[in-house]
Amino acid sequence: MRVVSGIQPTGNLHLGNYLGAIVQWVKMQQEAECLFFLADLHAVTIFNSPDQMRTNVREMAAALIASGVDPDKSVLFNQARVPAHAELAWLLNCTARIGWLNRMTQFKDKAGKNREGMSIGLYAYPVLQAADVLIYQATHVPVGEDQKQHLELARDIAEKFNTDFGTDLFTLPAAMIAGPAARVMSLRDGSAKMSKSDPSDMSRINLTDDADTIAQKIRKAKTDPEPLPATMEELDGRPEARNLVGIYAALSGESVNHVLGHFAGQGFGAFKPALAELAVESLRPITTRYNELREDHAAIDAILVKGAEKAAAKAAPTLKRAYEAMGLFR
Ligand code: TYM
């Protein structure tokens, strides 16, 4: 079992990233060989100032470590330090079909009506993501629900490459999408996912928010006037209520039905303070550790450099075989 996953170093780590992906990463590192990276080459598909990029990479690395990603157990690095990702992505650009990329909903969402004005990198983004996992022969990729389509594309690319070149080089990776928080929604709109790019900071809980801010965001979260029901099915058609209950379940480690068993018949006047307390208590140790770590650039850089060396060594054999399979001299 080899686990590989990445996160874009753009803005803060928020509760969606944390519950949808990072909690799984932390769990997996007890059970399997793990590689986790900052997808800085993905982040530059949209313009970021160089200073902002440098800050974001270090801060996201600190946030992951504060969340429990242990650089002694997992290989933690930033993608740009391991050129094999970009190299394999080029080879895979020649396998991936334009028609496949045209179906990617994330590109459509990000480009909106301005498709022609987007970078080629944003369009080819899912091919780089395929390279990220295929280069390490990943078997499992823990991600939130929104990355499912990209992982399916990675499998399609791997399969076509293997068929075209008559090889068994690439392992087909499986997406690991788990738990009640695989898709955490915005606190302001139950139909939009919680996201770093939402202009309203009230829509998300950042792992850097202080206790008062977290409590305020939950107090102001959009809800409905009905009391909570006894079963999950009865939350259908109530996306905001479902989201808050899902967050509670993920933070407490209980099932959604168990949470409802406790709160059935009560309104949000009772539920929200309980959720706020749970969120504050769960995130407090992470925020404390993050604030200790984030200014220590030397320590963070050393961790990422060491991680990149290990990752590069693991990537090299697959890259070599990919060139050979295609008949390229290198
Ligand atoms: P990114 O940086 O948007 O998000 C990192 C991880 O957090 C998950 N996530 C969520 N989960 C639940 N609810 C939400 N509201 C929510 N928002 C984000 C994402 O699903 C993801 O697991 N393209 C990827 C980064 C990437 C990658 C990879 C992932 C690059 N290469 C290879 C896996 C394997 C991205 O932009 O994730």
Q: How remote is the CA of residue 7 from the centroid of ligand 1, in Å? A: 5
137: left (phi over 0), alpha (psi -120 to 50) or beta: left
**How confident is the model at residue 36, as a pLDDT?**
98
Q: Give the C-alpha distances (Å, rounded to integers) separating 26 from 178, 255, 321.
A: 13, 20, 31
Active site residue 110: yes
Q: Is 220 one of the catalytic residues?
A: no
pLDDT value at 12 more than 90 = no
Quick one: pLDDT at residue 260?
97
Which residues, in sequence order, are CB contacts of 136 under 8 Å at separation 6+? 2, 4, 35, 311, 314, 315, 318
pLDDT classification of 180: cutoffs 50, 70, 90: confident
The stretch 210-220 carries a mean pLDDT of 97
Band of the pLDDT at 305, cuts 50, 70, 90? very high
Contacts of 240 (CB under 8 A, 6+ apart): 185, 190, 221, 222, 223, 224
pLDDT of residue 11: 81
Q: What is the pLDDT of residues 276-298, one digit of tens each?
A: 999 999 999 999 999 999 999 99
206 forms bridges with which residues in the sheet?
A: 14
Q: Is the CB of 144 under 6 A from ligand 1?
A: yes
CB of 6 shorter than 6 A to ligand 1: yes
Distant-in-sequence, close-in-space partners of 181: CB < 8 Å, separation ≥ 6: 16, 19, 20, 23, 246, 247, 249, 250
Q: Which of 148, 196, 272, 306 is catalytic?
A: 196
Q: Ligand 1: does its nearest atom lie under 6 Å from the Cβ of 10? A: no
pLDDT at 30: 93
Across 212-234, average pLDDT = 96
What pLDDT shows up at residue 178? 87
Average pLDDT over the chain reads 97
Three-class SS of residue 77?
strand
142 bridge partner residues: 176
Residue 76 near residue 303 (C-beta atoms within 8 A): yes
Q: Provide CB contacts within 8 A for 11, sequence distance 6+.
A: 56, 196, 197
71: Cβ contacts below 8 Å, ≥ 6 apart: 65, 303, 306, 307
Q: CA-CA distance, 150 to 144, in Å (whole number)?
A: 11
Residue 8 has pLDDT above 90, yes or no: yes
Among protein residues, the one with the nearest Cα to ligand 1's atom 14 is 16
Task: Determine contact, residues 134/318, Cβ cutoff 8 Å.
Answer: yes
Q: For a substitution probing ligand 1, which of 37, 146, 206, 247 has the most ligand atoms within 8 Å of its CB? A: 146
Residue 146's contacts (CB-CB under 8 Å, 6 or more residues apart) are: 106, 183, 193
Structure tokens at 59: 């801060």
pLDDT per residue over 251-262, tens digit each? 999 999 999 999
Atom of ligand 1 nearest to the CA of 4: 34
Q: What is the DSSP string of 215-254?
A: HHHHHHS---SSPP-SSGGGGTT-HHHHHHHHHHHHHHT-
Q: Taking residues 128-147, what's their average pLDDT? A: 98
Tell me if the pTM is above 0.85: yes
Q: Does residue 194 have its Cβ closer than 6 Å to ligand 1?
A: yes
